[in-house]
Copies of this chain bind each other. A is one copy, B any other.
Amino acid sequence: MIAESGSVSRVRVDLGDARSYDVAIGGDVVAAVAELPARAIAVLYDTKVEALAARTIAALGERVVAVRGVEGGEDIKTLANAAALYDWLAAAHLDRDALLVAIGGGTVTDLGGYVAATFLRGIAWAAVPTTLLAAVDASVGGKTGVNIGAGKNLVGAFHHPVLVAIDPAVFATLDPRDLAAGMGEALKTALVADPALFTLLEREMPRALAADPAVLATIVAHCVAAKARVVAGDERERDDRGGRAILNFGHTVGHALEKTCGYGTLRHGEAVTLGMRAAIALSRERGLDAATADRIDRLIRAIPTPPVAPASDDVIAATASDKKRKAGRVRFIVIGDIAAPAIVDDVDERSLRRALTTIA
């Protein structure tokens, strides 16, 4: 699944049809983007990574017909910003063969991908994720979306990019909080799908948190390959007994924490790191052996998170509006062992309340 060529490794995301695409990880990812065949290209980029954006735009040359910088962050994922981007693309006279390149963290790729999904009923797009979180989470799976008042990602589309290009060196240039947030999502992937990655993280967490690009490239390749396997089996998250839904480990509580603390207070990956504490507590109740749970808890707690102390009542109320409810019941992912996830929908309020004590 992982092919290396020079310093760039490629992981194939096989969707069983022409939409299959590559994730390129390594040094010269700008060249991989420039190889894409589109005649007209619009570039949406995060102003935090202006240097990378400038290199990419230069490599794409005169095919670039529109360029727009945005300051990445959860608050840009709005319907109003999507509307402004539609006007921007229409003004550039992009047609259905055009390409949108989104360079930035997950909020920029989520917004850019959603606009690409819905402009002219769908144009091609490429993602250049510049945070570890976006690289390990948002870059595979085709999920795009924006937030509305009632909740995060409640509006969106499944729309796979034609290429994802990741340069782990850029992670070192960003806020260390972004890196830690991404490590939370990487650990989640290990816990539900990749025991070898779990061992790697136990050994390399300090170097990873110090933004060592070689270690990060290996972690990203593991995460992307694991996620690609899971997504290939359940593209639209319709498998009730497992499939793609297992990737939501830590997310039911994580999403509720993001909402309760106010969007923007916690990064998504930080919320997932905290949510995983609760998920491990629930897993212990349902048979995860104590020694393994302790190892996992140590690794979760090795990832820095901001101090938050949300009221349990608010968090519990927020889980009830999570979009992953199924037939009205709130669903949680638990694990019986590393890489042995299960979905449960019978967590009672007392158990949840106990699990939430691991967070405060």
Contact = CB atoms under 8 A, between A and B. Distances in A.
Q: This chain: how many copies in the complex?
A: 2
A77 to B, nearest CB: 13
B97 A327 contact: yes
B87 A148 contact: yes
A118 interface: yes
Interface string A76-105: 000100110011001101011100000000
A87 B150 contact: yes
B119 A155 contact: yes
Given A39-B327, A121-B156, A327-B97, A87 B321 contact: no
A148 B86 contact: yes
Contacts of A203: none
Nearest to A119: B155
A128 to B, nearest CB: 22
A149 interface: yes
A151 interface: yes
A26 to B, nearest CB: 31
B86 A122 contact: no
A141 to B, nearest CB: 11
A313 B86 CA distance: 26
Nearest to A323: B120
Contacts of A149: 87, 90
Contacts of A60: none
B121 A145 contact: yes
Contact of A118 (B87, B118, B236, B328): B118
Contact of A157 (B40, B157, B325): B157
A90 B150 contact: yes
Interface in A109-126: 117-122
A148 B325 contact: no
Given A87-B150, A119-B154, 17 more contacts: A40-B328, A79-B82, A79-B86, A83-B148, A86-B150, A87-B148, A93-B325, A95-B323, A96-B323, A96-B324, A96-B326, A97-B327, A118-B155, A118-B156, A118-B157, A120-B156, A157-B157
29 contacts: A39-B327, A40-B328, A79-B82, A79-B86, A86-B154, A90-B151, A91-B150, A93-B328, A95-B323, A95-B325, A95-B326, A95-B327, A95-B328, A96-B323, A97-B327, A117-B157, A118-B155, A118-B156, A118-B157, A119-B155, A120-B155, A120-B156, A120-B323, A121-B143, A121-B153, A121-B156, A121-B158, A122-B236, A157-B157
